[in-house]
Amino acid sequence: SPQVKFLYDHVFEPLTDNRAVYKTVASPIVQSALDGINGTIFAYGVTSSGKTHTMMGTEQVPGIVPHAIAEVFRTITRTPGKEFLLRLSMMEIYNEVGWGPWRRVEALAAALHVSCGSAAPARASADRAEGMADPNLRLGRTLSFLNLIDLAGSESAKAEVNRSQRMEGSFINKSLLTLGTVIHKLSEGKAVHIPFRDSKLTRLLQGSLTGSGARIAVICTITPASTQAEETHNTLKFASR
Q: What is the CATH number of the domain that holds 70?
A: 3.40.850.10
Residue 167 in any domain: the answer is yes
DSSP states of the chain as a string?
Answer: -TT-----S----TT--HHHHIIIIIHHHHHHHHTT--EEEEEEESTTSSHHHHHTB-SSSB-HHHHHHHHHHHHHHTSTT--EEEE-B--EEETTEEEE-B-EEEE-TTT--EEEE----EEPPHHHHHHHSS-EEEETTEEEEEEEEEPPPGGGGG--SSHHHHHHHHHHHHHHHHHHHHHHHHHHS--S---GGGSHHHHHHHHHH-STT-EEEEEEE----GGGHHHHHHHHHHHH-
Percent of the chain's residues with pLDDT above 70: 77
Residue 87 in any domain: the answer is yes
Ligand-binding annotation for 46, yes or no, is: yes
Ligand-binding annotation for 51, yes or no, is: yes
Residue segments in the chain with a per-residue pLDDT below the cut of 70:
1-2, 98-142, 155-161
pLDDT at 99: 60
| Domains in the chain, number | 1
Residue 12 in any domain: the answer is no
Residue 67 in any domain: the answer is yes
Residue 97 in any domain: the answer is yes
Name the residue range of residue 185's domain: 18-118+139-231
pLDDT at 38: 92
Residue 128 in any domain: the answer is no
pLDDT at 183: 84
Residue 9 in any domain: the answer is no
Ligand-binding annotation for 180, yes or no, is: no
Read off the pLDDT of residues 67-78 as tens digits, 9 standing for 90 and up.
Answer: 999 999 998 888
pLDDT at 159: 52
Ligand-binding annotation for 39, yes or no, is: no
Residue 172 in any domain: the answer is yes
Ligand-binding annotation for 89, yes or no, is: no
pLDDT at 158: 57
Ligand-binding annotation for 50, yes or no, is: yes
Ligand-binding annotation for 131, yes or no, is: no
Q: What is the pTM of this model?
A: 0.77
